[in-house]
Amino acid sequence: MKKNIITIDGWSSCGKSTLAKQLAKELGYVYIDSGAMYRAITLYFLRNAVDITDKKQVIESLENISMEFAFNEKSQQSEILLNGENVEYLIRDLIVAEKVSDVATIKEVREFAVAQQQKMGKKKGIVMDGRDIGTTVFPKAELKFFMTADIAVRVERRFKEMYEKNPNVSIEEVKNNLEMRDYIDSNREISPLRKAADAIVLDNTNLSMEQQLKFALVTVEKLGK
């Protein structure tokens, strides 16, 4: 079967990675979480107290960052390594979530991440999720989804996920963080979050995970015809 590039963009916490992982598994494709790359860069900046308003510091720091994805047999998913260290779980922390959108507005950071993402898509057969994948990273992708869901539903989903790891987190904190990221991600100058003109909208406010996967698979099938 012909290998394609499938892109999934959309708002924070609307289930992009869940769908992307399932779709990749069903199709035998590689899943790439582009957000994890921005999060890993943010973690590096936080750890090394990089002043993100200082271009020189940012550029020098990027030269010291290497990122790759490795499949973890235990969790059965691909996880991100930052300079060889598995940071898949650390990057989900609220401390990183609070800074990542600002880091992702920086031109040099975006160029650095986009170049690596495009390289990962060279062989096709990938599902990549993020904010600018269908618009900037792979504007010629064979199939593009744009995901959305009601903010209240998104907050609830993300809160449940974060509460399991940290019972001290409040629903207000999660809501504020989602709203702030949505605002910064869709209003930044470079590659803001936008629906690509040829993207298919998937609103999963009232869909189960099974229903959304079915919708996506039917769409993929149509592509093959």
Interaction site with ligand DC (CB under 6 A) = 12, 34-35, 38-39, 100-101, 104, 130-133, 181, 185
* Nearer CB in complex with ligand DC: 1/140: 140
* Nearer CB in complex with ligand DC: 79/185: 185
Interstrand relation of 77-82 and 67-72 (parallel, antiparallel or unpaired): antiparallel
CB of 39 to ligand DC, least distance (A): 6
Residue 37: other Cβ atoms inside 10 A: 25
Contact 38, 113 (CB under 8 A): yes
- 33, two tokens: 């979480």
CB of 224 to ligand DC, least distance (A): 26
Interstrand relation of 143-148 and 200-203 (parallel, antiparallel or unpaired): parallel
Beta strands in 24-165 (DSSP E): 30-33, 67-72, 77-82, 85-86, 126-130, 143-148
* Nearer CB in complex with ligand DC: 100/162: 100
- 127, two tokens: 């599902």
CB of 182 to ligand DC, least distance (A): 8
- 102, two tokens: 């600002």
CB of 180 to ligand DC, least distance (A): 9
* Nearer CB in complex with ligand DC: 35/121: 35
